[in-house]
Amino acid sequence: MSERPDHAPETTPLGEPSSEFFERIRGRGAAGWKEWLQTCGDRAAAIPFSQHLEVYQAVYGPAALRENPMPVWFPEAPDLERAHVTQWCLRHECDSVDDLHAWSVREREAFWQEAIQELGIVFQQPPRAVWDTSSSLASPEYLTGAQWNVAASCFQGDLDRPAIHYADEEGRSETWSLERLLEEVRRVAGALAAQGFGRGSRAAIMMPMTPEAVAIYLGVIWAGGAVVAIADSFAAPEVATRLEIGGAEVLFVQGTYHRAGKEIDLYRRVLEANVPPCIVVGDAALQRSEDRDYAAWRDGAAPLVAPVICASMDATNYLFSSGTTGAPKAIPWSHATPIKCATDARLHQDVHGGDVLAWPTNLGWMMGPWLIYAALVNRASMALYGGSPATREFGRFVEEAGVTMLGVVPSLVRAWRENGTIEGLDWSRIRCFSSTGECSQPEDMFYLMSRAGFRPVIEYCGGTELAGGYISSTVVVPCAPSVFTLPAFGLDFVILDEEGNETDCGEVFLIPPSLGLSTSLLNRDHDEAYFAGVPAGPHGELLRRHGDLVERLDSGRFRVLGRADDTMNLGGIKVSSAEIERVVAELEGIREAAAVAVPPPGGGPAELVVFVVLQGESPSDESQWFAVVRRHIAGQLNPLFKLQRLVIVDSLPRTASNKVMRRLLRQRAAEERGA
């Protein structure tokens, strides 16, 4: 791709194409874009994004990125030949990735059996079947009859290879081999066993993503227990709620650490809650007699060399929903659940042995354990940064660690773009990005791809109760910004309107069974949460509620529009808040937007209120912005979507998992209107 065709024009050092070039490629679509990529060659990452955007609009049309994003990355022979999906297609004589997906849902048990075999999952006693649905299709028993411990599958192959690359803001930088990680896991498990911890026990972890946190996480599971996950961003009342629901016997907590230049004292914070005995990692002055220093505690017992053997449905992790209203749902993961994480990573993000995976996350959220299994079961390594991912230092860490797959959340990408954080970095070893957590903006994802010399962004959407994605992309099909290409392998879904009919834009419902789908909740009725009131599928299938709004594009691909419970009725038309926010955020000078609908006093049609966060030194006259935003919504979406009020704020309220808390915005809008 680095060779330039004979007829390609010269460009300036900044990559500005000539007028002759524009005349030739205008309106030529993919062929014109491919010519631009050939012209850029190895200089693509050094060329200003504005030039890439100008060419994109010339070849595809000025509205394409907003209305129907078209590809900016195309797989070439090395990508296709190397991809795991290609090998699966060859084995099963599938002509396309869509054919392979169709086989994976037509022959679900065969698909998962093959995935388990390819991953090399370690069993002491193999399963009799992938699942047993005789008692319940909604809540099957996975890997029936198997005796094993999933943590053992993280330590296969060469123990000398790297497992974790780590650096933080305090200057610590080190690489742990797989052998060192295994030794630490055995020591943690041995110390737990010495105090009576075993199969069925529960230990909470509240730590940033460090090598020790990974070792403790796997050590709890190695000892036969389950991790109660608590994000390190939670305040004391939220910690207390999760500890009470999870029933943890012990809490592993970081003492102090630095993030974004600030010292954070987690140990002191958790003492404000009613916490069990703490094992404190790192520096901290112990405040209670029952609390222990991690290093001394770990060294006080013999290592547990062999993992405790468990049944497939034994819990390994209790993860919580974000809990923006009421108590959060506690979602159990079993020993079978991580197979979904590792399989998704292998087939969608195309993780290979020797790859280096980075994804700024935390063990309190599903992407923390997902990252552990996605990397280690696939014989890859993790790159963990103990600091803010919004900084250039994080970008340098990605470069120096040789990251090959970088996971992001869209708001982080937007911050990088606005601040120029990643400009000039050498991210040439990245083979793909992956985005999850919230709806992405096409222009931001386009920007991200361009900064690595054009590598694909694997859009990835799912949830904790799925242990991964229900919809994604792959590295064997062209990548258009913010576009999903197919359902996740081994799983399928339908899109239904409010009457339960199939549609191209509506709420998505999953078709079980599939490994990874939750079968119970610790503190809620699982059937009530996911199956009650759900219509049968088009062919009589049992459907599972998920709650996302999904649009099928003319290309046959998909776009996720946000949560179905974030929809609003404006002028008699249903629209998602995410769709309005996407359009508003396109405006120059607006960094973020959140749209809510508020019923007027006495009832009647809902009123649209938009909250915006402005960029930098943008003028902050609300009346002027109101007129601009109102015209833009009417012009780009629908004249019936009439903006009633616009509110400029310094920031949007978010949960610890970075989701916008529209409930609080609706409450504020209603209160301010009443005042």
Task: Tell me the mean pLDDT in the region 428-447.
Answer: 93
How many helices and strands, by DSSP H and E, does the chain display? 22, 32
pLDDT tens-digit map of 509-566: 999 999 999 999 999 999 999 999 999 999 999 999 998 889 999 888 999 988 777 7
SS (H, E, C) 49-75: HHHHHHHHHHHHCCCHHHHCCCCCECC
Question: How many Å apart are CA 647 and CA 632, to the nearest integer?
Answer: 16
Question: How many Å apart are CA 142 and CA 150, to the nearest integer?
Answer: 13
The predicted structure's pLDDT at residue 654 = 85
pLDDT tens-digit map of 454-510: 999 999 999 999 999 999 999 999 999 999 999 999 999 999 988 889 999 999 999
Task: Indicate the Cα dihedral angle 318, 561, 435, 480, nearest 10°.
Answer: 150
Q: Where are the beta strands (DSSP E) in 362-459?
A: 381-386, 405-408, 432-435, 457-459
Q: Which residue has the tokens 């065969």?
A: 110
Amino acid at 666: R
Surface-to-core class of residue 430, CB atoms within 10 Å of its CB (0-12 exposed, 13-18 middle, 19+ buried): buried
Instruction: Specify the domain boundaries for CATH 3.30.300.30 within the chain.
Output: 571-675
Indicate the pLDDT class of residue 430, thresholds 50, 70 and 90. very high
Q: Which residue has the tokens 């993992």?
A: 307
Indicate the pLDDT class of residue 13, thresholds 50, 70 and 90. very low
Task: Tell me the mean pLDDT in the region 36-57.
Answer: 94
**382 in helix, strand or coil?**
strand
pLDDT tens-digit map of 212-263: 999 999 999 999 999 999 999 888 888 998 999 999 999 999 999 988 888 9
- Stronger pLDDT, 495 or 4, i.e. the higher one: 495
Question: How many Å apart are CA 435 and CA 443, to the nearest integer?
Answer: 14
The predicted structure's pLDDT at residue 571 = 66
Task: Tell me the mean pLDDT in the region 417-429.
Answer: 96
The predicted structure's pLDDT at residue 450 = 97
For CA atoms 524, 530, 535, 540, give the dihedral sign.
negative
The predicted structure's pLDDT at residue 572 = 61
Residue burial 126-144, b: 16+ Cβ < 10 Å; e: rest? ebeebbbeeebebbbbbbb
Q: Tell me: pLDDT of 3 over 70.
A: no
The predicted structure's pLDDT at residue 325 = 43
For domain 571-675, the CATH superfamily is: ANL, C-terminal domain (3.30.300.30)
Global pTM?
A: 0.89
pLDDT tens-digit map of 320-367: 986 444 578 999 999 999 999 999 999 999 999 999 999 999 999 999
pLDDT tens-digit map of 277-329: 999 999 889 999 999 999 999 999 999 999 999 999 999 999 998 644 457 89
The answer to whether residues 375 and 381 touch, using CB atoms and an 8 Å cutoff, is yes
Q: Which residue has the tokens 């002055």?
A: 285
pLDDT tens-digit map of 576-596: 788 789 889 889 999 999 999
Task: Tell me the mean pLDDT in the region 391-416.
Answer: 95
Q: Tell me: pLDDT of 2 over 50.
A: no
The predicted structure's pLDDT at residue 323 = 46
pLDDT tens-digit map of 652-661: 998 766 778 8
Instruction: For residue 86, give Cα distances in angstroms to 83, 98, 348.
Output: 5, 12, 11
Indicate the pLDDT class of residue 607, thresholds 50, 70 and 90. confident
Domain 147-508, architecture per CATH: 3-Layer(aba) Sandwich (3.40)
pLDDT tens-digit map of 137-186: 999 999 999 999 999 999 999 999 999 999 999 999 999 999 999 999 99
Instruction: Name the percent of the chain lying above pLDDT 90.
Output: 76
Q: Mean pLDDT over all residues of the chain? A: 92
Comparing 12-21, 62-71, 381-390, 558-567, the range with the smallest average pLDDT is: 12-21
The predicted structure's pLDDT at residue 390 = 93
Amino acid at 142: Y
Instruction: For residue 42, give Cα distances in angstroms to 15, 29, 36, 52.
Output: 12, 22, 12, 14
The answer to whether residues 191 and 297 touch, using CB atoms and an 8 Å cutoff, is yes
Of the candidates 152, 273, 153, 259, the residue with the CA atom closest to the CA atom of residue 204 = 273
Instruction: Name the percent of the chain lying above pLDDT 70.
Output: 95
Instruction: Specify the domain boundaries for CATH 3.40.50.12780 within the chain.
Output: 147-508
